Amino acid sequence: MSVASITLGQVRAAATPGVRPSRLSRIVCPPLGLLAMLLVLTPQSMFNELPRFLVVWGTFAITLVLGLIGYAAAKEAGLNPWTTPVALNAAYYFIRYGWGTVATEYWEDYPWETNPLLRMNFHRFGVWENLPGGCHLILVFGMGFMMGSVLAMRRRTLLPRFQWPLSPARLQMMLMLYAPFAIFINSYLQFHLPLSIRYLVTIFGSFVYPTTVLASYWLFSARESKERMRWGLFLGFIVLASIPVGLMSGQMAHMMLPMLMAVLGYIVARGTIPWKAIVLGAPVLFFVILPFAGIYKAAGAHIEKMDNRLEFSLWKYRVSSYRALAELSLERTVMRFAGSNMPSVFSWFYPKVYPFEAGKTMQIEASMMVPRSMWEDKGYGAFDLNRYTAKVGMVEYEGNTTALFDAVSEYYINFGLAGCFVLSIVHGYYWQAMFRWLTTRVHVLLGTVIVLVLLSQNEDLVGLGLLSAVHLKVIPVWLLLFYFFSRSNKHAIAT
């Protein structure tokens, strides 16, 4: 038996959902539901009159508890918390909205020296002033989000089985052959295609990300030095070759994504985060990668050519002090992932200034699922949704920046607090149910990889409309690629 088939069996033993039925939902769902309903019935004006210290730190504490519940739910079901949506989403929700609320509150108190204007970042658009209203939304959504995630662990999936006799050796060979083609699409071709077909073609290029996770997985689960050498070289090639997509787009997420995929592969193989590598690499990340990414992104405002932009960014980095680099890193991390800005701003404008949208944003997102060949005159969803953030002053109507909703804000501006609570339950249920289907009815390793990649690309925690517009296209394409790349012509191989 090959190394690959052995490690596939190890993943199945360690990560198959439903190993033990979860009883946690009976304990946590009733109090969470009751508390959420009390918050839904609480007028926002009353919430704004509470002591600010109590609101900020209460949000921090409750989201932390939700994170611990997610971890406990995964452990109780016999799942790995580092690869399971119920735990990963809960942990990220705490970072983005719990820790992010505290960061928003005290951001201006940091002694900014080289970039003093950063001190006022959370005073733009009225974020700091309306933070208590944002906390109101954050708490309601978080409780429903956790309820839905835990409830999904008690139900069997009704989605059809899609399994096939899988050949690990064929899958490995085909991924090596396909990787250069995917990299070419992802790092070059997509930037030269018309918008009408760009997204469809890019799906085939984005397959480089699950490929990277699998290469890392095989590297860190290999038992022979020859295998480790082969997968180490392949992983290094696809990570380095994927970085140019970040240089072309100028987005930090695109620059960091290849390295994150390598970390995800390690987690799937070893069942834990590479703590030692993270500790040793933290100074490089904090003082080199993150500040350079910030400088490079900012340079795009006045330098179009990538070569000139890169040259300017390298010069700017060299002349910057360690203090300036540290402040840029704080802006790229703490401020970037503090997600209370949109809930705070939208909670003030809706319904005081604008009426609730009653599902209009979701209609726009539904149109994104219709192929442009069948609807030539349809708009571009990202630009249409951009108008909502422009209405509250966060971006310009004709600007190039898109600020799409997070799920908390979108559900609220459509249906108010009650609708936000109901949809948050569906939202949490969706992620955990999808994970269960892909890992039990398709394949445990391939399903885990697909879900981890999709989770990592949803750093803004967008709503179900945008998720569906993406997932209904990406998941079938990726599954078909895995099917054609790994299907064995012989009898089924036990995996």
Length of the chain: 495
Q: Quote the Cα angle for 244-279-106, to 5°.
A: 85
pLDDT one-digit tens code per residue, 108-120:
988 888 888 888 8
Contact 146, 46 (CB under 8 A): no
User: What residue has token string 């490929």?
Assistant: 211
Cα(34)–Cα(279) distance, rounded to whole angstroms?
Answer: 41
What is the number of other CB atoms lying within 10 angstroms of the CB of residue 22?
22
* Nearest partner of 333 among 69, 101, 96, 84, judged by Cα: 96
**pLDDT at res. 107:** 92
User: What is the 8-class DSSP label of residue 402?
Assistant: -
Residue 113: helix, strand or coil by DSSP? coil
User: Residue 40 corresponds to which tokens in the numbers above?
Assistant: 């839904």
Cα(346)–Cα(409) distance, rounded to whole angstroms?
Answer: 6
Spell 464-494 as b/e; 16+ CB within 10 A means b.
bbbbbbbbebbbeebbebbbebbeeeeeebe
Residue 166: helix, strand or coil by DSSP? strand
**pLDDT at res. 219:** 95
| 111 CB burial (10 A radius; 0-12, 13-18, 19+) | exposed
- The strand pairing partners of 166, in sequence order, are 487
Q: Which helix (H) or strand (E) holds 27?
A: helix 24-41
| 61 CB burial (10 A radius; 0-12, 13-18, 19+) | exposed
Cα(474)–Cα(334) distance, rounded to whole angstroms?
Answer: 30
**pLDDT at res. 380:** 63
User: Interhelix angle for 252-270 vs 444-456, to 10°?
Assistant: 150
User: Residue 363 corresponds to which tokens in the numbers above?
Assistant: 């209609």
**pLDDT at res. 374:** 63
pLDDT one-digit tens code per residue, 441-494:
999 999 999 999 999 999 889 999 889 988 998 999 999 999 999 998 765 444
The tens place of each residue's pLDDT in the chain, 495 residues long, gives: 333 333 444 444 344 444 455 677 778 889 999 999 999 998 888 888 889 999 999 999 999 999 999 999 999 888 999 999 999 999 999 999 999 999 999 999 888 888 888 888 888 888 999 999 999 999 999 999 999 999 988 767 777 888 889 999 999 999 999 999 999 988 877 777 776 677 778 889 899 999 999 999 999 999 899 999 999 999 999 998 888 777 776 676 777 888 999 999 999 999 999 999 999 989 998 898 888 888 888 887 677 787 888 888 889 989 988 898 998 898 888 888 888 999 999 999 999 999 999 988 888 888 777 766 666 666 666 677 888 888 887 776 554 455 578 999 999 999 999 999 999 999 999 999 999 999 999 999 999 999 999 999 998 899 998 899 889 989 999 999 999 999 987 654 444
**pLDDT at res. 377:** 64
DSSP for 347-400, please give it.
Answer: HHHTTTTS---TTHHHHHHHHTTS-TTT-TT---HHHHHHHHHHHTTSS-TT-S
**pLDDT at res. 16:** 47
Residues contacting residue 52 through CB under 8 Å, at least 6 positions apart: 105, 131, 132
